[in-house]
Copies of this chain bind each other. A is one copy, B any other.
Amino acid sequence: MIRQLVIAMIFANLATISVATSQAAPAQSSVVGFADTLMPQPSQLSTQEGRLAITASFSTVTDQFRDARLDAAIARSLVRIENRSGVFLPTTPQTNAASANLVVSVDGPEGTIQSIDEDESYSLEVTSSSAHLRAATVVGAMHGLATLEQLIQSDATGYFIPTVVIHDTPRFRWRGLMIDCGRHFIPVDVLKRTLDGMASVKLNVFHWHLSEDQGFRIESKAFPKLTEFGSDGLFYTQEQAREIVAYARDRGIRVVPEFDMPGHTSAWFVGYPDLASAPGPFQIERKFGVFDPVMDPTRESTYKFLDTFIGEMAAIFPDHFLHIGGDENNGVEWKGNPRIQDFMREHNLKNTAALQNYFNQRLLKLLSKHGKHMIGWDEILTPDLPKDVMVQSWRGFDSLAAGAKNGYNGILSAGYYLNLMSPAAAHYAVDPLPDHTDLSAEQQTRILGGEACMWEEQTSALDIDSRIWPRAAAVAERLWSSRNLSDVEDMYRRLEVESLRLESLGLTHISQEDVSLRQLSGTEQIAPLQTLASVLEPVPFDERAHLQHANQLTPLDLLVDALPPDPPSRHNFELLVHAYLQHPGGRTGAQTELTGKFNEWINGEPGILRLMADSPLLAQAEPRAQQLSELGTVGLEAVSILSSGLPAAAGWKGARLAVLDEAEKPQALVRFTVLKPLRDLVNAVPEAGGGK
User: What residues make up the interface of A, taking CB atoms closer than 8 Å to B?
Assistant: 82-88, 154-159, 189, 239, 496-497, 499-500, 503-504, 508, 510-512, 514-515, 518-519, 522-524, 553-555, 557-558, 568, 613-617, 619
Q: Are B159 and A616 in contact (CB under 8 A)?
A: yes
Report the separation of the CA atoms of residues A497 and B519 in the bound assembly, to the nearest whole angstrom.
10
Report the separation of the CA atoms of residues A496 and B45 in the bound assembly, to the nearest whole angstrom.
51
List 16 A-B pairs, Cβ < 8 Å: A84-B519, A84-B557, A85-B555, A154-B616, A155-B613, A155-B614, A156-B613, A156-B614, A159-B616, A497-B522, A500-B523, A503-B515, A504-B519, A510-B515, A511-B512, A511-B514
- Chain B residues near A613: list those with CB within 8 A: 155-156
- Chain B residues near A154: list those with CB within 8 A: 522, 614-616
**Which 9 pairs across A and B sit closest by C-beta, in order of nearness?**
A511-B511, A189-B189, A86-B617, A88-B553, A83-B557, A155-B614, A82-B555, A86-B555, A511-B515
Report the separation of the CA atoms of residues A156 and B496 in the bound assembly, to the nearest whole angstrom.
38
Instruction: Evaluate whether A510 and B496 lie within 8 angstroms (CB atoms) in the complex, with A83-B557, A154-B616 already known.
Output: no
Q: Which residue of B lies closest to A189 (CB)?
A: B189
Chain B nearest CB: distance from A499 CB in Å?
Answer: 7
Chain B nearest CB: distance from A565 CB in Å?
Answer: 16
**Cross-interface CB contact of A518 among B82, B156, B510, B614, cutoff 8 Å:** B510
Report the separation of the CA atoms of residues A239 and B519 in the bound assembly, to the nearest whole angstrom.
34
- Chain B residues near A554: list those with CB within 8 A: 88
- Chain B residues near A500: list those with CB within 8 A: 518-519, 522-524
- Chain B residues near A88: list those with CB within 8 A: 553-555
Q: Which residue of B lies closest to A551 (CB)?
A: B88
Report the separation of the CA atoms of residues A585 and B156 in the bound assembly, to the nearest whole angstrom.
46
Q: Which residue of B lies closest to A79 (CB)?
A: B555
Q: Are A83 and B555 in contact (CB under 8 A)?
A: yes
Q: Are A86 and B557 in contact (CB under 8 A)?
A: yes
Chain B nearest CB: distance from A494 CB in Å?
Answer: 13
**Cross-interface CB contact of A524 among B85, B508, B510, cutoff 8 Å:** B510
- Chain B residues near A519: list those with CB within 8 A: 84, 500, 503-504
Q: Knowing that A154-B615, A158-B616, A500-B523 are A-B contacts, what are 15 other residue pairs whose CB atoms are under 8 Å apart, sorted by A's residue number?
A: A83-B557, A84-B557, A86-B616, A156-B613, A156-B616, A157-B616, A189-B189, A499-B524, A500-B518, A500-B524, A503-B515, A503-B518, A510-B515, A510-B524, A514-B514
Chain B nearest CB: distance from A141 CB in Å?
Answer: 20
- Chain B residues near A155: list those with CB within 8 A: 613-614
- Chain B residues near A87: list those with CB within 8 A: 555
Q: Which residue of B lies closest to A619 (CB)?
A: B156
Chain B nearest CB: distance from A500 CB in Å?
Answer: 6
Chain B nearest CB: distance from A606 CB in Å?
Answer: 14
Chain B nearest CB: distance from A361 CB in Å?
Answer: 42
